[in-house]
C-alpha cells in the first residue's frame, strides 16, 4: 500500500523556526507537494519537489531526499498566521492522484 | 482570476436524501479532481474528470456516488441516499492542460448528514 507519515501536532513560538517532517513509502515516486490549510479553508499550494535538495521560497523551504523517502518543510520567522495544518502529498509516475498524509497541525504561540 | 469555486459551502441532509456538490474550476483549467476529507483524516482521492469524461473513478464508492463534468457548467458530485458516514468535507481541485500540473483547491463543501 501507499503510506505517508507526518506528526499529528506541533507547537512553536512566534519568531522561531519549525521543521515539519514527512516520510513516504509508495510504489513509485514522481514528486512531493506541501500545502497549507487553515481551518475551514482550501488547501493552498506551498511547494513542489521533484529532485533531491532544498527549495527555498521566502520564509518557507522544502527539502527532499528520494533515497530516504523523506521530506521536510521548514518555516522561519514564525508568525501567528502560520498556525494551520500542513499537508504532505506524493504523486507517482503515470497518475495524477495526490496521496496525502493526515497533515500536521501547527500551533504558533505568542 | 477567480480561484476554484465550490457551492454550497455547507450542506445538511437527512439520511436517505440526495446531496449535490458543485465545483467550478479555475479559468482555463480543464482537469477536475474530487477529494474527501473525513474528520481527523487526510484528503482521499475520489475521482478525476476532464470535460465530458471520467478519467479515473477508482476512489469513488461503487454505490450511491457519481460525478460528472459537462461541456458547459460546473462539475457535480452526486451522493444518493446519504448515510451518516458520508458526513465529511468534499474538496474539488483543478489543474491546467497537463494532468500532472499542480492542483489548486476550492474551499470545500462540508456535508453533514443527520
Which tens digits make up the pLDDT trace of B24-39?
999 988 899 999 998 8
pLDDT at B42: 87
Confidence category of residue B100, pLDDT binned at 50, 70, 90: low
Q: Is B60 helix (H, G, I), strand (E, B) or coil?
A: coil
- Whether the CA torsion A85, A91, A95, A100 is positive or negative: it is negative
Picking from B42, B95, B108, the nearest residue to A101 by CB comes out as: B42
pLDDT at B99: 59
Work out how many CB contacts closer than 8 A connect A with B.
Answer: 56
The whole-chain average pLDDT of chain A stands at 94
Contact A98 B43 (CB under 8 A): yes
Confidence category of residue B86, pLDDT binned at 50, 70, 90: very high
Residues of B in contact with A4 (CB under 8 A): 42
Which of A91, A97, A101 should we substitute to test contact with B (largest number of B Cβ atoms within 10 Å)?
A97
| Predicted confidence (pLDDT) per residue in A20-72, tens digit | 999 999 988 999 999 999 988 889 999 999 999 999 989 999 999 999 999 99
For B22-61, b/e burial (b = at least 16 CB within 10 A) is bbbbbeebebbbbbbbeeeebbbbbbbbeeeeeebbebbe
- Check whether B107 has a pLDDT greater than 90: yes
The average pLDDT across A75-88 equals 97
Contact A42 B4 (CB under 8 A): yes
- Check whether B2 has a pLDDT greater than 80: no
Find all residues with CB under 8 Å of A1, minimum gap 6, and list them: none
Q: Is B49 helix (H, G, I), strand (E, B) or coil?
A: strand
Residues of A in contact with B35 (CB under 8 A): 98, 100
Contact A23, A70 (CB under 8 A): yes
Residues of B in contact with A45 (CB under 8 A): 102-104
- Give the residue with greater pLDDT, A69 vs B100: A69
Picking from A42, A45, A100, the nearest residue to B106 by CB comes out as: A42
- C-alpha–C-alpha distance, residues B102 and B89, integer Å: 21
- Check whether A83 has a pLDDT greater than 60: yes
- Check whether B1 has a pLDDT greater than 90: no
Contact B41 A102 (CB under 8 A): yes
Pairs from A62-71 (Cβ < 8 Å, separation ≥ 24): A62/A32, A62/A34, A64/A32, A66/A29, A68/A23, A69/A23, A69/A24, A69/A25, A69/A26, A69/A29, A70/A21, A70/A22, A70/A23, A70/A24, A71/A21, A71/A22, A71/A23, A71/A24, A71/A32, A71/A34
Residues of A in contact with B95 (CB under 8 A): 96
Residues of B in contact with A48 (CB under 8 A): 102
pLDDT at B48: 94
Contact A31, A82 (CB under 8 A): no
Confidence category of residue B52, pLDDT binned at 50, 70, 90: confident
Half-sphere exposure of A8 (CA within 13 A, CB side): 2
Confidence category of residue A78, pLDDT binned at 50, 70, 90: very high
Amino acid at each position: 500500500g501507499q503510506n505517508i507519515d507526518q506528526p499529528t501536532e506541533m507547537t512553536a513560538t512566534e519568531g522561531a523556526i519549525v521543521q515539519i517532517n514527512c516520510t513516504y513509502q509508495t510504489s513509485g515516486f514522481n514528486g512531493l507537494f506541501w500545502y497549507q490549510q487553515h481551518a475551514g479553508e482550501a488547501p493552498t499550494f506551498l511547494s513542489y519537489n521533484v529532485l533531491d535538495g532544498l527549495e527555498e521560497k521566502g520564509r518557507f523551504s522544502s527539502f527532499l531526499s528520494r533515497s530516504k523517502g523523506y521530506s521536510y518543510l521548514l518555516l522561519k520567522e514564525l508568525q501567528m498566521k502560520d498556525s494551520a495544518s500542513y499537508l504532505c502529498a506524493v504523486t507517482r509516475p503515470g497518475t495524477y492522484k495526490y496521496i496525502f498524509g493526515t497533515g500536521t497541525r501547527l500551533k504558533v504561540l505568542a | 482570476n477567480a480561484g476554484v469555486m465550490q457551492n454550497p459551502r455547507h450542506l445538511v441532509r437527512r439520511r436517505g436524501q440526495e446531496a449535490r456538490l458543485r465545483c467550478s474550476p479555475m479559468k482555463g483549467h480543464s482537469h477536475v479532481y474530487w477529494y474527501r476529507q473525513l474528520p481527523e483524516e487526510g484528503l482521499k482521492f475520489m475521482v478525476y474528470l476532464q470535460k465530458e469524461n471520467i478519467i479515473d473513478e477508482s476512489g469513488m464508492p461503487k454505490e450511491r456516488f457519481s460525478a460528472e463534468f459537462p461541456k458547459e457548467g460546473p462539475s457535480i458530485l452526486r451522493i444518493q441516499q446519504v448515510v451518516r458516514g458520508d458526513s465529511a468535507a468534499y474538496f474539488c481541485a483543478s489543474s491546467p492542460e497537463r494532468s500532472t500540473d499542480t492542483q489548486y483547491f476550492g474551499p470545500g463543501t462540508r456535508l453533514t448528514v443527520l
